[in-house]
Amino acid sequence: MIHLLPQLIYSNLKKFIYICLLPNLTMKKILLFLGIALAAQASYSQYYYIPSLNAGMNPGGVNPDGENPYPAAANTGWSDIWNGTGTSSVEYTSEQNIPFAFKFNGNSVSKYTAGNFGVVSFDAGTPSAKPTGYSNVTLPSSSIPNNSVCVLGIKPQSITSGTTTYKSAIMTKTYGTAPYRQHWIWFNFFSEANISQGWTYWAVVLEETTNNIYLVDMKTLCVSNNALCNNNVKLSAGIQISSTEAYSVSGSPNLGAQQITQNIFTAADNSYYTFVQGNQPSYDLSGKSVSIKPYLMLADAPFSISGTFMNNGTNKVTTADLNYSIDGGAIVTGAVSGASLLTFETKSMTHPTKWTPTAVGKYTVRLWASNINGNSDENGSNDTTMFVVNVVDKFAQRNMLNEIFTSSTCGPCVAGNANYKNVIIGKSNHSTIKYQVNWPGTGDPYCTQESRDRVGYYGINSVPRMEIDGGWDQNASSFTNNLYGQYESDPAFVEITGNVTINWQYKVSADITIKPLADFNSNNLKLFAVITEGQTFKNKKSNGETEFDDVMKKMMPNSTGLALSPLTKEVDVNKLLEHTFLGWYRLPTDGSVAQHTNHTKENSIETWDDLNVIVFIQDATTKKVIQSQSFPVAVLSVESNESNVMVYPNPSSESFQITSNKLIGQNANVLVTNMQGQEIYNGKTANGQLSVNTAEWTEGVYLVSVKSSGLNFNTKVVVRH
């Protein structure tokens, strides 16, 4: 890298000395000349970069999209500016317009040209310089056009899966609102020499007003011989001003991706590098996040306010003040003890003064640092971080919804299902739905159109895949105990209760009560009810699995769900959802559309005493699941219908009741066992009634058997505290 600033100073200094020797020039004119020279020198720009490794988000949080926008025509706002395969030669796109005012290296630019070798150039027209092949050349290089942003080393590819061929693409989209929009130039589904058949996704992002340039490391996966491997890419990333001046990310030209083990299609695994024009300041503490829970119980006040800060300055930070304000009110300032951050180091710091909210409500917390080593922060644009906190008086235990996409023809699904089962053992704060899909190969025989609908809703294109509460979107093999704990600790503000039965005519009835503990003003909420079969065996195919758990059989009323009006705190909503299984059992041969179960005349239920109904409320726009609940389906046989046996409430918290008109005047034996067959309760009804205390029982599913001389009734009860 060549820095021209010292040369300019030296050149101006020589001119100054020469001018001083001229007898006819006044000192005023000399100083005026020097001022002009220094002003010209000040207009010279350069770059420094700030690494945000494993940020878990996109820069500024402006881009909320998933990381699979191809093809652009099927995704709102996206445009393809290049598309090609592994046989493509090194080439440029046509010139593209920047949708807002932007400066590169201090100069206004309005257009750019992208290269399929990992370049975005601001040179006018089609650049003449280009490499002979796809290579991670060291910057600066004469084979790279001037005034360029680079992620060199990527190369186009194509992979065929079934009847679909996936090709590399350069795609663009603009996010946000003026004056802080971002224009994304997305290198989608490229490869690199060291990851063989794998793929790597990177983006060059231009930001309005700040003129920042971001290099976003989105996703990289190594594949060799159709199996995952552990190799990483080797890229040359940075900015080239000319063939003699460049600014590269440390590690270039062998820069690797930060995360190479998971095929994640969200920003959860993203890293990025922020290129800023100018000289790096001496003192700059940027706010990254506020560390406070999104929901706080008013009775637990006062609350500590912490934040994560990054030292973007050249000097080590040893002392600093923290400041916070609530809803734009009075600023509370306090010195932080033990502040110690090297350049680009990130650290959490806690304000010494706790906050006591005055009432239940929503509050905006602003947090920033100041007085850094006794100096002012030189970059005020990145100081403040904000967070919205909800102070409440009550909330409910969250019952997370785990939706798993799998297939009996998917080899990696074996490990995904096994890992999921190991994590949930002994835990009860979850609901599980397994959607059997129609690939790879011929797909799972129990795939249905409703499974396909959920695949489309989430944009699923690989299995095993798992969604937690409509947000966490990864391989089921990556599910962990820590993740379980993280999601179950997120408070919920809805309770779902009810009773679910199936009669001798195979009619499933779910009588559901929604109990809001807070106001939900959204018009996008939907209620879903999914009938699952606890265990199936007949859909085994090629991956070696012989038993399949929690298989989705039918959605009530269908895959679009039931629209809900905005929910009002403490105003219950009652809904009845029903479905009658018709015809006889048929085992489909594969997952093709032609083989899907036709619910108007047939079904795929293997056993009728092993059904559950998973009820959940989801925001149709954000996909966020706000609460779920699992209900075992009580089987009402002919005998139970005649005797009118009722077991309620189900789930049970403190106790459940057994009542039956047929048992009036006689005593019936009642036996309750857990799922391991251990006896939990043994008693008798009195005059057709019995109350069973469950307050001390472990949460879980229990089998209830009621027997008398003319009655043999069995059902399941869920205990939740």
Extents of the domains making up the chain:
5-42, 47-277, 285-392, 400-634, 640-719
Residue 31 backbone dihedrals phi, psi, to 5 degrees: -65, -35
* CB distance 656 to 681 below 8 Å: no
Q: What is the pLDDT of residue 381?
A: 84
Polymer length in residues for the chain: 721
* Cβ–Cβ < 8 Å for 545, 404: no
Strand, helix or coil at 509? strand
Which of 605, 600, 591 is closest to 447 using CA atoms? 591
What one-letter code names the amino acid at 335?
Answer: A
Q: Is the dihedral of CA 591, 594, 595, 600 positive or negative?
A: positive
Identify the pLDDT of residue 161.
65
- As a whole number of angstroms, the distance between CA 16 and CA 23 comes to 13
Neighbours of 340 (CB within 10 A): 12
SS3 for 637? coil
Architecture of the 400-634 domain: Sandwich (2.60)
SS3 27: helix
pLDDT at site 389: 92
Please name the helix (run of DSSP H) or strand (run of DSSP E) that holds residue 481, with its range, or none: helix 481-488
- Asked if the 640-719 domain carries CATH number 3.30.420.10, the reply is no
CATH 2.60.40.10 holds for 285-392: yes
Nearest-angstrom CA–CA distance, 491 and 220: 34
Those residues of the chain that have pLDDT short of 70 are: 1-45, 161-163, 636-644
| Burial degree of 225 (CB within 10 A; 0-12, 13-18, 19+) | exposed
3-state SS class at 715: strand
640-719 has the same fold as 285-392: yes
DSSP tally for the chain: helices H, then strands E: 6, 46
Which neighbouring-strand residues pair with 240? Answer: 148, 246
> What is d(CA 456, CA 429) in angstroms, rounded to the nearest whole number?
27
